[in-house]
Structure 1
């Protein structure tokens, strides 16, 4: 018999035997809810985390799990430390970040303006709102008046580049602790200082901060704040697309990048609290990662985007793999092999060294080579063509896929983006709702969903938003298909029941993934109720 003594957990407050663990960090115990609440108020809330911040010479600061984290678990919730408009954007409200529409003022179109500093705003309520008050007082005191006026729709205004950095600099007095935490973040200013963008920014931003507003900051500090924004800010958008701005989340900035991340994030409430969610189970000691770029870009585009915007070369496992985990997302078909009638399968051109953008690309079958610049040129030309398509219907996207079927295989990133657009159009757009779709287009939607789901399982597995959205679209199309087949006696009642149960399984998984997304809970509940009713009706 084993008489080894086992350590009995004790209460963090009274040191008596305890069996209740902290629901957050799972590292401390309590004998009662009363002692748990007491410990929380006394300071445990400040240290209760599922992660810790570590540092290495190779990757700098990064986040590591201090216990096993479950799929779907919220790892972190954090309010923004600072926010502001993008460097250049169409006129947006400085308080609520809503994209502004012009109104008729004195027989001409213009924006509502703040009565003091003349920046475009939504209305008097936003003018008086807290986010705009400190900056407005300063600009009014120095007699600065913004001169943005309506000229034509979506005109980009570079003047917005001053707002975010100004707000951070004003924190030195109003919130010095927050200011220091932001200034401790990586800036990569040495990598940006000589770029054409920063040469322009140097003239405009420094002139505004130092000469116009008279704030006592040297040139390096001003530019460092701008660079901190560029390096660390998150692109925050409202679900309906009407609001967009940049925000810095100090703790979330510690997340290291990976092109196959193990988390996703959502923004909650009017203050845009960032909630970080585990998309897959994360083991104790494992790095917690996010992606700083578009996961559906090929390796050439992802690494270029990261180098320009985040100032580092990504060397993750996906970037090292010339096939991108078998998706061949960034590859094209070999023109030599595909031009031969002897070969019936696709042969692909893959990079001879994915971590070197100048490395030649070689056919995996015949050895035919092309230079990397040819890949860049061709890729950029096709991207421009895809972006220029009419997005109100499916015609352009279907024609794009058909036109380049010999060059672009079925999971090339450009084809995937076209199919993603088609998935949204079929079943959701006017004239293409599920009830409008003929059977062949309904089947087309289902096939596209399965193809996208296969890519998602390899690149954005688990509870990713991408995968959840595909599941939601797939179950809706499958449910409609089942209804039609049952109504024309193509399947039996038992067969309809089986197919609807499969749809319910997909919907329940989509619900688990998407229910935390703003405005999705009610939609998902309605869909679950509708499908449950349909299941009941076919069981009669």
Structure 2
């Protein structure tokens, strides 16, 4: 229906149609691809036949499809989400390490903002893919949907800013090095250890990744299953590998899903939540600084876990918990900053409201 609505703009709103039709469609690059052929059958040929119209040629329909695919933004304010075109946002560059975050109002308007200061004359960018994915997944997605090979600073650095987000542990005994591709161009061929130089068969890499993906996706979401998954795949994958991190994200969300439940969480699980929250926040602030909903949620989870840890310490000892309360306040403030533009139709909007309540309560306690 999105394609039809855009085509109808030519008569209903010629001015908007002019703006829309001048956007990039990459039609020449898309033409002949598997996706283009599928779109031709399901959209290009379907619309004239279903609506019994000759007003729109196949070429015009396919160009419109291309404009929507290349420039469209998924707007999550409806169920299911819809795709919208924002003229100014269409001119923003792509980067897997962008400097602009996206938020949406209740009415579906786009808010672009910078979580961190941007230096003068720096190009503005958003991520056309998912910044939490590994390099190969982002590369494949961008080639399939946007028809280009990304060569941003993050993709060209196989260590992903020193995080080793795609890294494997070296298979050589006693070596603590990390196995990564020699370069982005050699992603599907040459992997070697950064310390001992040991070369690893790409088939071994692909086999482990295939198994890790298959085991993670259908896994029953329990804290114990996440812990078992992490322990198993840390035999081969680095502590910050994207599959390990996905399991850690699920784990921190499963341990104490609300304040009352958090109060009954065993000490070892609470400590694990604290450890992984800090680790994940540090990682993604470096790797995906504009994934503000995820970062804000991490900050809230960490604030809550620290507050609960403080409560337990205060019950057991006569030590002043002021330092721990100040740390809890630090993270709830960071949460509010990350989620400041989230509206209350989203879970993150409700987290924002609760974070403000918790912040005010903490401030009152600290001045007593």
TM-score normalised per structure 1 = 0.63
Post-superposition offset of 1:452: 0.4
Structure 2 counterparts to residues 218-237 of structure 1, below 5 A: 218-237=57-76
Q: Assess, with a 3 A threshold, how the Cα gap between structure 1 residues 429 and 475 changes in structure 2: closer, same or farther.
A: closer
**After superposition, where does 1:266-345 map in structure 2 within 5 Å?**
266-270=103-107, 272-335=108-171, 337=172, 340=173, 342-343=174-175
SS in 2 for 1:246: strand
- The C-alpha deviation readout for 1:142-189, integer Å capped at 9, x for no partner, is xxxxxxxxxxxxxxxxxxxxx111111011100111112112111122
Give me the whole-angstrom Cα distance separating, in 1, the residues matched to 2:262 and 2:154.
36
Q: Decide whether aligned partners of structure 1 residues 170 and 279 sit closer, same or farther in structure 2, where only a CA change above 3 A counts.
A: same
User: Structure 2 stretches of 5 or more lacking a match?
Assistant: none
Partner of 2:100: 263
CA change 1:377–1:180 in 2 (3 A) is farther
Q: Tell me if the contact between 1:268 and 1:275 (Cα under 8 Å) persists in the aligned partners.
A: yes
1:442 corresponds to 2:270: yes
Q: Does 1:467 align with 2:292?
A: no
1:417 aligns with 2:256: no
1:427 is matched with which residue? 256
Q: Distance in 1 between matches of 2:64 and 2:165?
A: 36
Question: How far did residue 466 of structure 1 move?
Answer: 2.8
Q: Select which of 458, 461, 477 maps to 2:286.
A: 458
Label 1:177 to 1:356 Cα distance change in 2 as closer, same or farther (>3 A).
farther
Larger fraction in helix: 2
Alpha-carbon distance, 1:482 to partner = 0.1
Aligned partners of 1:247 and 1:268: how far apart in 2?
13
1:396 aligns with 2:225: yes
What's the secondary structure of 1:165's corresponding residue? helix
Contact 1:293 1:305 in 2 (8 A): yes
Q: Does the CA-based 8 Å contact 2:101-2:290 persist in structure 1?
A: no
* 1:482 and 2:320 matched: no
Distance 1:377 1:304 in 2: 18
Retained in 1: the 8 A contact 2:181–2:190?
yes
Equivalent residue runs for 1:46-85 within 5 Å: none
User: Residues 427 and 480 (structure 1 numbering): CA distance in 2 closer, same or farther, change over 3 Å?
Assistant: same
- Once the two structures are superposed, residues 389-411 of structure 1 have per-residue CA deviations (whole angstroms, 9 ceiling, x without a partner) of 113x2222211111111101110
2:337 corresponds to? 512
The alpha-carbon deviation at position 531 of structure 1 amounts to 5.2
Could you tell me how far 1:522 is from its partner in structure 2?
6.0
Give structure 1 stretches of 5+ with no counterpart. 1-162
Counterparts of 1:309-388 in structure 2 under 5 Å?
Answer: 309-335=145-171, 337=172, 340=173, 342-343=174-175, 346-372=176-202, 374-388=204-218
1: CA distance, partners of 2:306 / 2:258 = 18
Contact 2:139 2:149 in 1 (8 A): yes
Secondary structure of residue in 2 paired with 1:349: strand
Which of 1 and 2 has greater Rg? 1
**CA displacement, residues 368-415 of structure 1 (integer Å, 9 cap, x when unaligned):** 223445534432332222111113x22222111111111011100000
Q: Contact between 2:299 and 2:331, CA under 8 Å: does it hold in 1? A: yes
Per the TM alignment, residue 528 of structure 1 is displaced from its structure 2 partner at its CA by 3.9
Distance (Å, rounded) in 2 between the aligned partners of 1:294 and 1:229: 18
Matches within 5 A, 1:115-264: 163-213=1-51, 214-238=53-77, 242-264=79-101
CA distance in 1, matches of 2:290, 2:142: 24
Q: How much has 1:329 moved relative to structure 2?
A: 0.3
TM-score by length of 2: 0.91
- Contact 1:278 1:463 (C-alpha < 8 Å) held by counterparts: no
Q: Matched residues in 1 for 2:54 and 2:16: separation?
A: 18
Provide the aligned length of Structure 1 versus Structure 2.
Answer: 364
